[in-house]
Amino acid sequence: MKNIFLIITLLLSTGIIYAQTDSTRFKLNIRAGINNSFFKIEKEDPEINTQIQNDFSPKLGLEAEYVFPFDKFRWSTIAELYYQSYNYNNAVQYQRTETRSNFDNIDISYYSLNFLLGLKYTYAELGRFRSYMAVKTNYAHPLNDAMIDYETLEDFEIINGLGFLASLGFVYNRKISFEFEYATRTLVDKNIAKTRLNTFTFLMAYRLM
């Protein structure tokens, strides 16, 4: 965990040095958004098949962006540190046959600190508006003893892991941006169970420098 914070500190410090020498090529943005998540877990023995939809949660982060000096400054690299959570506590269906469905209570409390790296491409400009797309990879570190906790079935530990993200957005007046983001990652060791957390996020950002 200390190594992660050290890397992030070094990246942000390097970015601030760039900002002092060339403010047009380095950007620092504060970002906030709302997640809408879909979670799925599958296991064969004993059979578990649970799907949870439409859980809303917050996302808050700080993004550093460095613009490359070629192709009309359209390409940039992104480093982002952000916090997000996923919580659910309710009865869910975990098994379904032709004659019956089985239910159990499930409790998921997951808080994570995430470090993201990616590339962004600005593909259109119209007046004060700039449209962009981005692809990113994400490392998620749980901040609590995160578990997928069934009441009567076995429990599953949520682990550190990599995820992938893609987004579309636009910037207004080089200061305010709006972005739609899709993210996906596994939560449990794939040798234990198949899991997938898919998240759609609407984000707003403000450029600090």
User: What average pLDDT does the structure give for the chain?
Assistant: 84
Looking at domain 2-207, its CATH class is: mainly beta
Q: Tell me, what DSSP letter sits at residue 3? A: H
Per DSSP, the three-state class of 64 is strand
Tell me what pLDDT residue 39 has. Answer: 86
Residue 41 pLDDT class (50, 70, 90 cuts): confident
Q: For 183-205, write each residue's pLDDT tens digit.
A: 999 888 888 888 888 999 999 99
CA 204/CA 125 separation, integer angstroms: 19
Q: For 136-156, write each residue's pLDDT tens digit.
A: 999 998 888 888 888 888 888
Q: Identify the top-confidence range among 56-60, 72-76, 136-140.
A: 136-140
CA distances, 116 to each of 96, 97, 150, 161 (Å):
38, 41, 31, 12
| Mean pLDDT value of segment 17-35 | 73
Tell me what pLDDT residue 145 has. Answer: 84
CA 122/CA 113 separation, integer angstroms: 28
Task: Measure the CA dihedral 101/105/111/114, to 10°.
Answer: -10
Q: Tell me, what DSSP letter sits at residue 159? A: -
Q: What kind and span of H or E run contains 6?
A: helix 2-21
